[in-house]
Amino acid sequence: MKEIYIKAKAKVNLTLEVLNKREDGYHNIKSIFQALSLHDDLKIEKIDDDVFELDTNVEKINNNQNIVYKAYTALKERFESITGVKVTLEKKVPMQAGLGGGSADCAAFLLAMNRLFELGLSMEELKEIGKKLGADVVPCLYDHAVIAEGIGDEITEIDTDFEYDIVIIKPVISCNTKEMYEKLDCMEKTKESCGTDMVVQALKEHNVKQIAENLYNDFEIAMQDSTLIRRIKEEFSANGALGSLMTGSGSCVFGIFEDKETALSAYDALKNKYETYICTSCNA
C-alpha cells in the first residue's frame, strides 16, 4: 500500500460538563461526543524523501505547528520504519468552531498511518499517543457516539446505530478554547441538571426528541456574545428544530431535527443568513 484516503469526521457535543480544573492545568470533563457525516478529506502518500509534506486548502495551518505534523513526528520517533509522507488535507470543517476539526484530522492521520505503515498499534496505544497531542483527539478516534471523561481520554462506547439529522450554523465569531476555559474558571456556575444518562438512553432507543430535550453545554454561559447564540437558537426553533445547542467551546450552534425533510427546509431557510451546514450523525 502506497497511499490511503480517510475521512476526518467532525463532532458535536450533545452534552458537555466541565467538572473541575486539574493540577496539570487541564480540566476534567464529561461529554457525549457525536461523530458527524461532515468531514475533512485526507490523503496520505508514501514518498521517497524522508520528510513531511502538507498540501492544504487552508494556508494558515500549513506550518510545523499543525497538529497533523506533530502526530507524524510522534509516530516517527517511535517507528524507524516510517518514511516520508505527503499529506493532502482538504478542510471542510470550520476551524475554532467547537466541531473538533483539527483533532479529527489528527485522529484520522493516526488511524491511517497505522494502516499505511502496518504499525500494529492497538486502539489503546493510539489513544495514548493521541492524548499527548490534544485533548479531543482520543474521542475523535471513534466514528460513533461515545462518552468522554477525564480530559477526554477515558472513553465509554455507546451501543447505538441511530442516525438523525443535524443542521449547523457557524457564526461570524470564533472561539479560542483556552480563553473559553479561562472565562469559565472565573465564573460562578449555577449547576443545572445535565441529562447525559437520558441522552445515552435516547441514542440506544432511537428517540431523537429525548436527545433534543436533554442537550447541555457548560460553555454557553461563558460565551461573550450570548445574544447571538440565543438568536441562532431561536431561529432553529422557528424552523422546526427539536432542540439546539452550542457545541464544544464554541462558536458553532447545531439544531437536531425529527426528519430529513424538516432539516433540509431549515437549511434552505438559514443558508443565506449564516454559514450553514447540513449533515447526519454517524453511529456505524
Report which residue type is found at 203: L
> Is this model's pTM higher than 0.85 or not?
yes
pLDDT of residue 227: 86
Catalytic pick among 40, 76, 105, 136 = 136
pLDDT of residue 180: 84
21 included as an active-site residue:
no
Q: How many other C-beta atoms can be found within 10 angstroms of the C-beta atom of residue 185? A: 13
Q: In the chain, how long is the greatest CA-to-CA distance?
A: 57
Helix (H), strand (E), coil (C) string for the chain: CCEEEEEEEEEEEEEEEEEEECCCCCEEEEEEEEEEEEEEEEEEEEECCCCEEEEECCHHHCCCCCHHHHHHHHHHHHCCCCCEEEEEEECCCCCCCCCCHHHHHHHHHHHHHHHHCCCCCCHHHHHHHHHHHCCCHHHHCCCCCEEEEECCCEEEECCCCCCCEEEEEECCCCCCHHHHHHHHHHCCCCCCCCCHHHHHHHHHHCCHHHHHHCCEEHHHHHCCCHHHHHHHHHHHHHCCCCEEEECCCCCCEEEEECCHHHHHHHHHHHCCCCEEEEEEECCC
Catalytic pick among 11, 76, 127, 233 = 11
Rg of the chain over Cα atoms, rounded to whole angstroms, equals 19
Q: Is 94 left (phi over 0), alpha (psi -120 to 50) or beta?
A: beta
Per-residue pLDDT of the chain (284 residues; tens, 9 = 90+): 899 999 999 999 999 999 888 888 788 999 999 999 999 999 999 999 999 999 999 988 888 889 999 999 999 999 999 999 999 999 999 998 999 999 999 999 999 999 999 999 999 999 999 999 998 999 999 999 999 999 999 999 999 999 999 999 999 887 778 788 888 878 776 666 688 999 999 999 999 999 999 999 999 887 766 788 999 999 999 999 999 999 999 899 999 999 999 999 999 999 999 999 999 999 97
Grid cell digits, residue 268:
434552505
Q: How many other C-beta atoms can be found within 10 angstroms of the C-beta atom of residue 126? A: 19
φ/ψ of 206, rounded to 5, equals 60, 40
pLDDT of residue 55: 95
Q: 220: Cβ–Cβ under 8 A, 6 or more apart, which residues?
A: 226, 229, 245, 246
Q: 203: Cβ–Cβ under 8 A, 6 or more apart, which residues?
A: 32, 145, 158, 160, 162, 211, 283
pLDDT of residue 189: 65
pLDDT of residue 65: 85
48 included as an active-site residue:
no
pLDDT of residue 225: 66
User: Cell 476539526 sits at which residue?
Assistant: 101
